[in-house]
Chains A and B, each alone.
Chain A
Amino acid sequence: MSDPLDALEKSIGTLRRAIRDAAAAGDTERAGELRMQLRRAERAWDALVDAGEPAAAPPRQAPQAAPAARGSQLPAREHVHRALMLLGVPAAPKLIVDVHEAFFPGELSTSKLSSLRRDEERSYRSSPGARPYYLCPALAHDLLTPVRALITISTWTLEQRVIGPLSPRVDFLSGAIRIAKAVRTSAESAADGASPEALRLLWRFAVNIPDAMPKNASGHEGALDAQQVIGAAQAELDVHTETDRANRAAAARRARKSLSDDEQLFGAPLRGVTHLRSARA
Chain B
Amino acid sequence: MREPVDDRLAALRGSAKRLDYNARSLAALENNPRCTLRALLDASGSDKAAIATHVGHPPAFGQSSFAITRGNAFEAMVKANGCAELLRVLRETLELTLPEVGYEDLNDVGGDGRSKERHERTEEVLLRAARGEGDGTLFDHPMLCLQIGGHKAYLEPDLVAFRIDGRFHVVEIKSFPIIDEQAAPAQVRAATTQASAYIIALRDLLGRAGIGEEAVSDTIVLVAPKDFTNRPTGAFVDARKQVAALTRQLSRIERVGDLVDLLPEDLTFDLARDSEDRPRRPAEELNEALDQVLVTYRPDCLNHCEMAFYCRSRARAEASLDVLGPVVRDQFGGIDTTTMVMGLARGELTPSEDQMEMAAALRHAARLRAELEDLGGAA
Contact = CB atoms under 8 A, between A and B. Distances in A.
Interface string B348-378: 0000000000000000000000000000000
B101 A207 contact: no
Interface in B100-124: 101-105, 107-112, 124
A208 B96 CA distance: 14
B314 interface: no
B103 A145 contact: no
Interface residues of B, number: 27
A169 interface: yes
Interface size class of A (residues with CB under 8 A): 20 to 34
Contact of B135 (A172, A175, A243): A243
Give the residue among B80, B88, B112, B231 with the most A Cβ atoms within 10 A.
B80
Interface in B32-87: 80-85, 87
Contacts of B107: 148
Contacts of B109: 143, 145, 270, 273
Contacts of B101: 166, 168-169, 240
Contact of A270 (B83, B99, B105, B112): B112
B24 to A, nearest CB: 26
A146 B82 contact: no
9 closest cross-chain pairs (CB), A and B: A145-B110, A168-B82, A165-B102, A169-B101, A208-B84, A172-B82, A165-B135, A208-B88, A143-B110
B128 to A, nearest CB: 10
Contact of A94 (B80, B82, B231): B80
Nearest to A235: B98
Give the residue among B88, B99, B102, B112 with the most A Cβ atoms within 10 A.
B102
B135 A146 contact: no
Nearest to B88: A208
A45 interface: no
Contacts of B134: 165
Nearest to A273: B110
B234 interface: no
B98 A205 contact: no
Contacts of B177: none
Contacts of A171: 82
Give the residue among B82, B110, B111 with the most A Cβ atoms within 10 A.
B110
A22 interface: no
